A and B are shown apart, each in its own frame.
Chain A
Amino acid sequence: MNQNDINKLRGKTAVVGLAESGCGLASGWSAMEIMANSVHDALDDAGIKLNEVDGVFAATAFHSMAAMSLSEYLGIKPKFADGSQIGGSSFLSHILTAAIALDAGLINVAVVAYGSNQKSMVDLKLFLRRCHMKLSMNQGCQLLLMH
């Protein structure tokens, strides 16, 4: 795919809702709860109902099948889901895939979601040891919704 090809997607889809939830400390909240909370906030932001969502894109360090886990948590059965986990660029990849799926008419509404409680979870040190990560991680959660 060269630059001209990717330009074909320009203006075909749009981010229509956005939300963050639980940034900073959020003790007592799981990664999934923070992620789902921001999904609902972003849907409110866009004025779109949960049952209109037919594309789910998600990645977290806590769920090996994040798109499936999020769909189960939300209680929806999307037509298209992608849980590719390629680190911080996961969500750029999700947005590109979502734009292609939207443009192809496979789906009408996609959620792209992330959730983490790495900063406030009680057994943080255990988690870090397991993941070989450094203590510099921030918590964050954001979501883009495309239509």
Chain B
Amino acid sequence: MAENLNGTEGPEQQFKSYLSQGKFMIQRSKSLNQFFFHPRVAFPGTGERDLEWVEVSGKGTVHSTSCNRRLPEKGGDFNVSLITLDEGPRMMARVEGIDPDKVEIGQRVKARITSLKGEPAIVFDILKG
């Protein structure tokens, strides 16, 4: 009955491993043909476990945005937004390359893999045109 997980990676670690390889992958249930985020062991709400990792376009739309004020000596203001990915799921991330209080709802953005506090992470840039 006890399931041995040693030598395998949990979904969160898998997500980070893919990011380290330069790939933005999220999970999809094969039977539902639906994506979700953040990485989990099963589809939220209904519990399907027939999951596969799929590389996504990285394109999305700003659903909501905020500017978090911070002292300049502690790194200055930074943006926190909710981004709806073209594949469906919504994720929280920073939009960079623009003043943190100038991000607007509805703007098109594209993901970029970077590093935050020593861990691979996703940030978004404004998509021009």
Contacts and interface: CB of A to CB of B under 8 A. Distances in A.
Interface of A: 18-30, 33-34, 36-38, 40-41, 43, 45, 49-51, 73-76, 120
A15 to B, nearest CB: 13
B10 A29 contact: yes
Nearest to B8: A28
Interface residues of B, number: 22
B2 A50 contact: no
B4 A24 contact: yes
Interface string B62-92: 0000000000000000000000000000000
Contacts of B41: 33, 36-37, 40
B118 interface: no
Contacts of B6: 22, 24-27, 120
B112 interface: no
A21 B8 contact: no
Interface in B5-47: 5-13, 40-47
Contacts of A40: 41-42, 47, 49
B55 interface: no
Nearest to A25: B6
A142 to B, nearest CB: 9
A76 B3 contact: no
B44 A74 contact: yes
A36 B5 contact: no
Contact of B10 (A20, A30, A41, A76): A30
B116 interface: no
B47 A51 contact: yes
Contacts of A24: 4, 6
A29 B3 contact: no
Contact of A30 (B7, B12, B42, B44): B12
Q: Across chains A and B, which 3 residue pairs bring their CB atoms closest together, nearest first?
A: A75-B44, A50-B47, A29-B10
Nearest to A29: B10
A64 to B, nearest CB: 19
A38 B3 CA distance: 9
Q: Identify the interface centre among B9, B44, B47: most chain A CB within 10 Å of its CB.
A: B47
A30 B12 CA distance: 8
B1 A19 contact: yes
B30 to A, nearest CB: 16
Nearest to A45: B1
Q: Identify the interface centre among B10, B13, B44, B49: most chain A CB within 10 Å of its CB.
A: B10
Contact of A20 (B1, B13, B43): B1
Contacts of B43: 75
A51 B12 CA distance: 23
